[in-house]
Structure 1
Amino acid sequence: MTTPSIIMPIVALAAALTVGVVLGGCDSNTTASSSSSPTTSQSVAQAHNQPDVAFAQNMIPHHAQAIAMSRLAAQRAVSPQVKDLAARIQAAQQPEIDQMSGWLRAWHEPVPATDSPMSGTEQGEMGQMDHDASGPLPGMMSGDQMQQLEQATGPEFDRMFLQMMITHHQGAITVAQTELRAGQNPAARQLAQRIIDSQQREITEMQALLSRQ
C-alpha cells in the first residue's frame, strides 16, 4: 500500500531533471548563438578594401574644411538662409566625420587630423583616389581662398561662401562616386550615396540663393 507514495516523488524528481536538462540545453544553444553573432557582425564590419580607406581618409578633411567654412558663415553671413544652410552642413558632416574616424580606427588605418583643416594641396598623400593620387582633393579650397573668405564681409561674404561651397560639394560628390565605383564596405558605400544625395540637394539650394543675390 505504500508503493505509490514512494513512486510519485521518484517520478516527480525524474521529470524535474528532464526539464532541467532541456532548459540547460536551450541556455547553452542561446549562449553559443549569441557569442557567435558579434563575431559574424564584426567580420562584416571589418570587410573593406583600399578604396574604402581612401574614401574615409579623404572625406574626413574634406568635411572638416566644409565645417570650418560653415563656422565662418555662422559669424559673417548676412542672409538668414545662408546661416541656416551653414548650420545644417555642420550638423550633418560632423557625425559623418566621427563615423569615418571610427571605421579607420577599426581598420587600424591612420585617422586624419581635423583640428586644422588642410587645403586641397596640403592633404597630400593621406588617401589615394582615382582622380589623381598626387593632386589635391576635388573641391577643396586652397589656403589663399580660405583667407579670402575669412576677410570677406557682408553680401560679398555670402556670395563667396555660396560659390565656394558649391564647388566644395561638387568635389565631395566626386570623391563619393569613386567610393561607389570601387569601394567594398557596405557602410562606406551607404554613406557615399547619402553624401551624393544630400549634397546635390544643397547645391541646388545654393544655386537658387545665388540667383537672388
Structure 2
Amino acid sequence: MKTMSLAVVAVAALALAGCGSNTAEPSATTTTTTTTTSTPAASSSASSPEMMSAQPVAGPHNGDDAMFAQMMIVHHQGALDMSKLAPTRADSDEVKALATRIEKAQQPEIDQMTSWLRSWNEPLEAGHGAHDMPGMDINGQTQEEVNKKLAALKGTDFDRYYLESMIAHHEGALVMAKDEIAKGESPDAKKLSEEIVSSQATEIAEMKKMLAAL
C-alpha cells in the first residue's frame, strides 16, 4: 500500500508539472501575436481612403494637350492684364463690362488648366520658343507691347485700341483652341477648347459692333 501511495503521488506531481508548462506557452504566444498585429495597423493608416483620395489623378493626355494648357494660360493672362486697365482708363461702359466678363471667364480657366498640368506632372511653363507659336501675337505685336501702349491711353482712344487688340487676341485663341481640338487627346482639354471657340467667337462679333459704334 505504501508503494502504491508513493506511485500515486509521483503521477500527480508529473501531471501538475505538465499543466504548468502548458499554461506558460499560451502567454508567450499571446505576446507574439500582439506584437505582430501592430504592424499592419500602422501601414493601413498610411494608405487610408482619405489620403488616397487627396492624390491627383492624371487623365489621358499627349504633348499637344500639355502645350495647349501651358500656352493658353499665358494667353489668358494677357487678356486679364489688358482688361484690368479698363476700369480706370476706358470711357465706354460697354467696354468696362466686357473687360469684367473676360476676367471672370478666363481666370477660372487658368486655374483649371494649371490643375491639369500638375496632375499630368507637366511643367507649368513651356519652353521659350513656344511663345512664337501661332495665335500668340496681337496684330504683329507682343503682349508686352500692347500692354504698354494700352497703359498710356485713356477714354475713347483706350476703348478703340482695347477692342482692336482684344479682337486680334481672341482670334489667336481660336487658332490655338482649334489646333487642340484637332491634335489633343485629353477629353477635358478638348472640351474646354470647344467652349473657347464658341464663347470667344461670340465676343469677337460683339466687339466688332462696339468698335464700329465708336
TM-score by length of 2: 0.69
The alpha-carbon distance between structure 1 residues 63 and 209, as it changes in their structure 2 partners (threshold 3 A), is same
The 5 Å alignment of 1:31-110 reads: 45-110=58-123
Distance 1:144 1:185 in 2: 33
Distance 1:77 1:194 in 2: 28
Q: Identity of counterpart residues, as a percentage?
A: 43
Root-mean-square deviation (Å): 2.4
SS in 2 for 1:78: coil
Is the CA contact (8 Å cut-off) linking 1:162 and 1:210 kept in structure 2?
yes
SS in 2 for 1:46: coil
Larger helix fraction of residues: 2
Q: What residue identity is the alignment partner of 1:182?
A: K
Residue in structure 2 matched with residue 207 of structure 1 by the alignment: 208
Is the CA contact (8 Å cut-off) linking 1:69 and 1:161 kept in structure 2?
yes
CA deviations over 1:55-78 (Å, ceiling 9, x no partner): 000100000000010001122111
SS in 2 for 1:152: coil
Between the two proteins, the alignment pairs up a number of residues equal to: 160
Per the TM alignment, residue 98 of structure 1 is displaced from its structure 2 partner at its CA by 0.2
Is the CA contact (8 Å cut-off) linking 2:78 and 2:143 kept in structure 1?
no
Distance 2:142 2:96 in 1: 20
The 5 Å alignment of 1:1-213 reads: 45-112=58-125, 124-126=128-130, 131=134, 137-139=136-138, 141-213=142-214
The alpha-carbon distance between structure 1 residues 98 and 203, as it changes in their structure 2 partners (threshold 3 A), is same
Q: Which has the larger radius of gyration?
A: 2
TM-score by length of 1: 0.69
Distance 2:125 2:204 in 1: 26
Per the TM alignment, residue 146 of structure 1 is displaced from its structure 2 partner at its CA by 1.7
Give ranges in structure 2 of 5+ residues lacking alignment. 1-48
